[in-house]
Amino acid sequence: MTKLLHYIPFQMVVFFSVGIVWGDFFSMQLQFLFGLVVGAILLLGITRWKKINLGYWDNVIGYGLFILMGMLLVSAHNTRTHKNHYSHFLSNDDRVNVYYIKINEVLKPSVKTQRFYAEIVQVNKIKTTGNILLSIQRDSLQTHLIVDDEILVKTNLGLLSEPLNPYVFDYSKYLNRKQIYHQLYLKQHDYLKLNPQSKTLKGIIYTIHKKINRRLVANGMSADDLGFINALLLGKRQFLSKDIIQTYSASGAIHILAISGLHVGVLLMLLRLMFQFLHRWKYGKLMSSICVVIILWSFAFLAGMSASVVRAVTMFTALQVGMSLHKRHFILHTIFISMLFLLIANPYFLFDVGFQLSYSAVLSIVLLRPILCDLWKPKNAISRYTWDLVTVSLTAQLGVLPLSLYYFHQFPLLFLISNLCIIPILAVLLFTGIFTIVFSLLGIPTAWLIAVFSALIYYMNTIVNWVSDQELFLIQHIHFSGLQLGISIGVLVALVFLIHQFKWRLFYMLLLMVLGIQMSFFYYKYTLEQSSELIVYHQYKKSKLLLRTGGKARVFVVGSIITSNDFLLRSYQNKVGLSDLTIQRSIPNVLSFSDKIMLVVDKDGVYNVEQFKPNIVLLRGSPKINLERLISTLKPNIIIADGSSYPSYKKRWEQTCSQQKTPFHDTSQKGAYVFKY
């Protein structure tokens, strides 16, 4: 293990990653970074040529070079710094621009819109690059756009919308990582569809997927089964129903429905077993590896060559090469080399949750599984297979545990049972699905294969439904901060080194880190109990308030049916680590908290209460009131208008508050109102 620390690809990955994170937070000019990198390379080259020994500074300069290269990569991949990026050609005044747009990817549609990732090919007849989020109003009478379709539109781009409520997923930040900075909303008659000039690889794959779906439907595959085969093999989840996605999410098995390292790893395991017979011949191992790698990349092509699939296949290609050499250190080397290649290809992969989880799981399996395997070596084939599955599941879960807690804030206690039951079914599903697709394309009858696939889906759904019903075994709303994530990763790394080579100093360090995690949990629990907050959420045509006192919270809601599984509430509970939450389906006219009083004025417009001076006034339900009189009578510190009031009313209220010099907070413009005390 100590040799790994001196392995150059490992060092490059670590310091590259530091440079990528630094470069993402602190942007610097590309030319300046390039000069620093060239300077560092020349300095190292001169010291080697002149045989000058700088001692400790040799390592400092080398590691600094890797950090600078990571920063340089981030700057080079930032498309906004490119001279031909569309953002440099937008009009500074109110004049509209003419955009030539090409569809790159079809996203899952919403109830009212079709959504796409699209490239801006031209702005006002000037060739450009750069992608946007395109939304088009749905119309059953008009043909839907597909990959490689081209449209012409005269309009202005809009900035990506930032989240208006606290603790929710920041979709704009997610798109920024994908180099998407603007959005465009169109109605069906706002654009002119053109004849496509060329076909891209994505367009060819999209056409193949459409052909596959037509053949499968013609052969009698049901809509639900079609959704599963698209999710498991073609990389498309938009055909799955909301109920299925909710059930898999509740059971902690949502990763089954998105092609990831799990699917590619299962496929790799099956392919290695399938081509095991070649090992008896001369060069059989080489032939076996070549066949496995070819099929893996064929699967990547079938799945649409999406970023997540390419990452997973690259990683397991490296793993296959390492395993074919039958030496664990070669496996580690190839894994880090694949990680390095991926980060060079796109440094923003580092921030992708799938990338982090995949490599954490694989490294944990490679480093820890041999130790578990040495504890028991069953002779029976069934026992050996079961034990192998148990060791893989345990080590993979241990490796991804810190990241899972940080991103998903839950831990399924039945993960081992789920994996033991679902992974064998998934393995057969993948092979059955692949043969079903191939046979349908070749025109070979596939009724019996579709029947087998449908039966497997039924059994997998039965298991997932049972697991999702066992709410007692799912620990939810776990608060896990960035500090705790960092310490937990340190604990795992120390544990790996300690298992391979015991050192008392490392053991004491491990104990200190474990104690640090415990202390951080206790400290957060204490600060949570000592604090309180009020949140006036923004929801269109609805009112929702949350009042937390210590570790307990009450939610007041009007205008919608709400459950404890509500997206806003679930996001709040996950971030804060709160399980005690009470829902009330009405909002009282007066709310008191700390030394503050909030008056809620609803559509009835009642507020004239003697000897009553509220600090905060919330206007909801578009009350017909004289706001100037209200301000002079009550003299509030601030007036809030939520999403339940008409925009025209809020505009008028804002003008009145400006005249009266009273702060006004419109949740549709400024986001949710948050008051902590």
Number of Cβ atoms within 10 Å of the Cβ of 17: 18
* Helix, strand, coil percent values for the chain (each to nearest 5): 55, 15, 25
What whole-number distance in Å separates Cα of residue 658 and Cα of residue 601? 20
417-466 per-position pLDDT tens digit: 888 888 889 889 988 999 999 888 888 888 899 999 999 999 999 998 88
For the segment 168-187, the average pLDDT, to the nearest whole number, is: 92
Between 135-139, 245-249, 426-430, 619-623, the lowest mean confidence (pLDDT) is in 245-249
Q: Please write down the HEC assignment for all residues of 482-503.
A: HHHHHHHHHHHHHHHHHHHCCC
Q: Are 252 and 412 in contact (CB under 8 A)?
A: yes
What whole-number distance in Å separates Cα of residue 247 and Cα of residue 150? 38
What whole-number distance in Å separates Cα of residue 516 and Cα of residue 524? 12
35-44 per-position pLDDT tens digit: 888 888 887 7
How much is the pTM?
0.86
What whole-number distance in Å separates Cα of residue 554 and Cα of residue 535? 11
| pLDDT band with cut points at 50, 70 and 90 for residue 328 | low
What whole-number distance in Å separates Cα of residue 490 and Cα of residue 492? 5
| pLDDT band with cut points at 50, 70 and 90 for residue 1 | low
Supply the angle between the helices 261-274 and 353-375 in degrees, to the nearest 10.
50
Q: Are 58 and 13 in contact (CB under 8 A)?
A: no
- pLDDT at position 465 is 87
- Alpha-carbon torsion angle 663, 669, 670, 673, nearest 10: 80
- pLDDT at position 606 is 75
Mean pLDDT (the chain, rounded): 87
